Structure 1
Amino acid sequence: MNRPIAVVTGASAGIGEATARRLAAEGFHVVLGARRLDLLNTIADEIGGTALELDVTSAASVEAFLAEVPAARVLVNNAGGARGLATVAEADEAHWRWMWETNVLGTLRITKGLLPRLIESGDGHVVTVTSVAAFEAYDNGSGYTSAKHAQSALHRTLRGELLGQPVRVTEVLPGMVETDFSVNRFDGDTERAASVYQGLTPLTAADVADVIAFAVTRPSHVNLDQIVLKPRAQASASRVHRG
């Protein structure tokens, strides 16, 4: 296989799918990982990639996934998500556990497992998709914001630990992106999810994928440490303009 390999987690929809498609267009052979293998197979067939089942919350699943990835030059840690909008006083521990397992431990498992291959590539790149919630806290979002803060800290620590190694490290921190994120957060309530973006034009998954593709296609001496992107109508995690 002559094309460099890019691994994208959470690649069955949203930002992950858009990133897989964009990186394939840039000449990468993309290995797509997610739980919904039927969706992955369709995307992989369309872009000439490889679909592998992956649940980042399961160490066994991650191990099986990594065993099928012979090499990697780029890793996009995209798998993640939110559950609920409870206050601290009404926090659901199951929601918290899922958010930390997916966003934090999932990122750790995949990154740790692929690091030797990224280093061996001679020009590796770790991209982690966090959120503006990684540097802001907002009411009713403590489970998600704490998990994203932790994921960001993991990623930023890696930046220092890899100094001297041929691996770049980029954190992408999107604001409001219209994907199935809110539908999942609200347990399938599409009406409630749609209200999040009402009255403004949010980012699209393709917007975020463009940024990721830009970062990984810079000359190898250029490291874009952090990239924050938000809709024009969004000033912060909790402040937006609705027309």
Structure 2
Amino acid sequence: MFGLKNFGRLVALPLLAGALLVSPAEAKKNSVGGLYSISIAGFKVGRGTLSLVMQGNAYSAKVSLEPAGIGTLFTTGKGGAEASGWLVGSRVVPSKYRMASHAANLDFYVNLLQGSGAIRSMEVAPKFKPNPERIKVTKRHTSNAIDPLSAALMPVGRVQDSLGPKACNRKLPVFDGWTRFDIKLSYQETKEVSGRGYEGPVVVCKARWVPVAGHRPSKESVKFMARADMEVWVAPMGRENVLVPYRISIDTKNGRLVVEASKLRIDGAGADQASR
């Protein structure tokens, strides 16, 4: 019912422009600390935490996931991930990504070292079983791709574009260690939210999952995901031209999966924004 590995692949979603190289002594520091509630069909099944720090054009992020509510009846799995990298011009350039989780009596592990838009080394477990139908992941597929956690950074080129269509109009090329897929975002609306950990504007993006490689096209789960209705809400993280996920919702066979901030602390913008 609740797959931590699958959720970890999707949480995420990202890019920045105009970031300047500055020395650490001069670099402005921004941070986000968030608690997220995870529900399916209205029932709470898990909770997660997000910690993101940006200093100058460098970033580091951590996320953890564990069952909660009725989710404890279906799984004892839990896991986490961490990532770091740089914002260079209009791109997020990851350097390290590590994910480890345990679910369905299996251990999942990914360790990616990246540089100059390429995967320099990779450890993944378990590996896919050989299948002639599976679309092979090649070097071309992983070139300039981003990991799922780095994809949580949503930069825009200019501050005035951060709460409008340009915050959404992008394609995110994501590689999770097993599969390469695109998340295509498009603008839906900008609105104000309150009472769920953040008081202020969010940009609502429609999202579509597009399989690229590593998948088997005939699998029903792949077909379902490719047509599933998805939505991502993003909020400013203190620097006006960088946004982070506030709410993610995805149609699943068991009902609507919703990941939503229940507490969000934003430092570096002159004030904290938090609630219950």
TM-score when scaled to structure 2?
0.33
Whose strand fraction is larger, Structure 1's or Structure 2's? 2
More helix by share: 1
